[in-house]
Amino acid sequence: MPDVDPLVNELRAIVGNDYVIHLPEDLIVFEYDGSVDKAMPSAVVLPGSTAEVSEVVSAASRAGVPIVARGAGTGLSGGAVAEQGGLVVALTRMKRILEIDPADHLAVVEPGVVNLDISTAAAEYGLYFAPDPSSQRACTIGGNVAENSGGPHCLAYGVTTNHVLGMEVVLADGSIAWLGGRTRETPGYDLRGIVIGSEGTLAIATKIVVRLLKQPEAVKTLLAVFKEMDQASSAVSGIIAAGIVPAAIEMMDHFCIEAVEPAVNAGYPKGAGAVLLVEVDGLSEAVEEEASEIERVCRSYDPMEIRAAVDEEERARLWAGRKGVLGALGRLAPNYYLVDGTIPRTRLMEVLARITEIGDKYGLPIANLLHAGDGNLHPSVLFDERDPDQLRRTMEAGAEILELCVEAGGVLSGEHGIGLEKQEYMPLMFNDEDMAAMAKLAPAFGSRGRFNPGKIFPTGKTRAPIPHAGAVARTGAGAFI
C-alpha cells in the first residue's frame, strides 16, 4: 500500500486541516458501515465541493492510493468499507439542495443530502421524491445512487434509477463530467444508468438531478392480518392478478410482529402468522375503488382482520411498525444475519416454505420481512454470535437461502448491493464471459480498480459458508432495511 503521509499534507492544502482525518483513534468510526465488515482506511477526507472532490481524487491518483466514496454509512453489504485501506472520501459535507424546480418537477442536490430532506424541501410545492429506503431519515442520495436503492414504495414507483435524470461525476483521474441531464431522454449511451448501482466502482457523483412527483390527492393504508404466511402470500398474488398495482405491499411474519409490536405499538394483533401492509394512492375516487377491491381479494383468503388507517396518525404508526422491525429483533436474539434476495412473486409461497425448512434444518429461527409486491425477500436468521456453532449454522443457512433465491429464478440482491457480502456468489448468476464483459466497464471509465477496489467481483475465496461479514449485525435501534 502506498504511503499516505505525503498525501495527507496535500489533502490539507485542498480542504483545510479540519477536514482531513488520519489518526488511528479518529479513523475507527470510518472502518465499518451498516454491516459489520471492518477495515481501517489510511485516511479520510471530507471535501465541500465538486472542485475539492476533483482535486482530492487527482492527488490520490498521483499517489497511487485507492479511493472509497462514503455517504452516511447505512449500507448493508460492506460497500463503504475500505477493505484495501487507502483514502475514504466522505461526502457528508456536501449536503446542499441546490435547486427545486416546481415547473419541471425536479431538484438538483449534492450527494450528502439525506433522502427524506428532499421530500421535506419539495413539500411546499406539493411535490416529493418517491424512492423511500427504510433508512431514508439517515441515508444520503449519493449512497442511494451507488446502490440503486429501493424501498417499500418501489413496487409502483420504481427504484432510484427511475428517478435520477442526470448527475455530475468525478472520474478516477479527477476530471468532471455530466451524465444525463435535466430531461428524461438524452442522446447517446446511458452512462447515467451504468453509474447508478455501480457501488462506487466507476465514478463519484457530486451533483444529482432527481425527478419529483406530485403528492397524491389521497392515500389509504390497509392492514390485513392472516393466521398463516401461506394465506398472506396468496393474497399478494391475488392482488396483482386482479390488475391492481398498489404503491406498496409489505409482509411481516410472526417473528417480526412479536419483536416490533411491544416496541412500537403499531397495532399488529397477537396470534397472527403474518400481516400485509398495503398502501394505495392517487385520485380519491380511484383510491377508494382500489382499496375496496384489495379488501375483497384479501377476504377471499380468510383473514383474521382487515382494517384501514383512519387518519394520518394511525397510518404513520402502522408504517413505524414496518420500519422498526429490524431494530426490534434484538428482543428475540442478540444478532441477525440479513439475507437480501429477490424472487418471482408467483413463487413466494414455495420459497417462504423452504426458508422455514432451512431454519428448521439448522435449528435457527428466521424472521421474514419482505417487499412482497415485487418479491424482494429479507429473511433474518436470528442467532448469538458468541456461540461458534450457531454462527457456523447461521452462515450455512444464509448460503442456502441465497442459492434458493437464484434457483427460484431470482437474483442475489434486490436493493442492498453485492459489495463484500455476496461477491463470491456472483457465479451463481453469471458465467466467466458475463463477468469479463462487466469488468471492462472499469477500464472504460478509467477507474481500473482504484475506486472501491475489491467489491462486486469474486476474489476466489470460498463460497460456503459465507464469510462472517456483510449482513451479520447486532440488533438494536437504528437498524434499517
CA dist., res. 73 & res. 80, Å (int): 6
- Find, among 371, 369, 373, the residue nearest to 381 by Cα: 369
Question: Taking CA 61 as the corner, what is the angle to CA 171 and CA 97, rounded to the nearest 5 degrees?
Answer: 40
Q: Is the peptide bond before 465 cis (omega within 30 degrees of 0)?
A: yes
The pLDDT score that the predictor gives to residue 3 is 66
Give start-end residues of each CATH 3.30.465.10 domain in the chain.
97-214
Residues of the chain with CATH 3.30.70.3450: 218-315
Paired with 367 in beta bridges are: 380
User: Which CATH fold topology does 5-90 show?
Assistant: 3.30.43
Contact 405, 342 (CB under 8 A): yes
Q: Report mean pLDDT in 10-residue bins for the chain, 481 residues.
A: 82 97 95 84 98 98 96 92 96 98 98 98 98 92 96 93 98 97 90 97 98 97 97 96 95 97 92 96 96 97 96 94 91 92 94 97 97 94 94 92 96 92 92 94 92 91 45 42 42
Q: Which CATH number fits domain 97-214: 2.30.110.10, 3.30.465.10, 3.40.50.2300, 3.40.50.300?
A: 3.30.465.10
Give the other-Cβ count within 10 Å of 3's Cβ. Answer: 11
Neighbours of 5 (CB within 10 A): 10
pLDDT of amino acid 42: 96
Residue 38: what pLDDT?
A: 86
**221 within 8 A of 153, measured Cβ to Cβ:** no
Q: Which of 415, 442, 423 is nearest to 195 (CA)?
A: 442
Distance of CA 356 to the CA centre of its chain: 24
Reported as a single tens digit per residue, the pLDDT across 95-123 is 999 999 999 999 999 999 999 999 999 99
- Give the CA diameter of the chain: 69
Prediction pTM value: 0.91
Question: Where does the chain hold its CATH 3.30.70.2740 domain(s)?
Answer: 328-474
pLDDT for the residue 481? 42
pLDDT, tens digit, for every residue of 262-280? 999 999 998 999 999 999 9
Cell output for 398: 444464509
Which residues have CB under 8 Å from 177's CB, separation 6+?
168, 169, 171, 203
Q: Looking at domain 328-474, which CATH architecture does it have?
A: 2-Layer Sandwich (3.30)
The pLDDT, as a whole number, for residue 421 is: 86
Q: What's the pLDDT score for residue 11?
A: 97
Single-letter residue type at 290:
E
For domain 218-315, which architecture applies? 2-Layer Sandwich (3.30)
Q: Which three cell numbers stand for residue 406?
A: 437464484
CATH 3.30.43.10 residue spans of the chain: 5-90
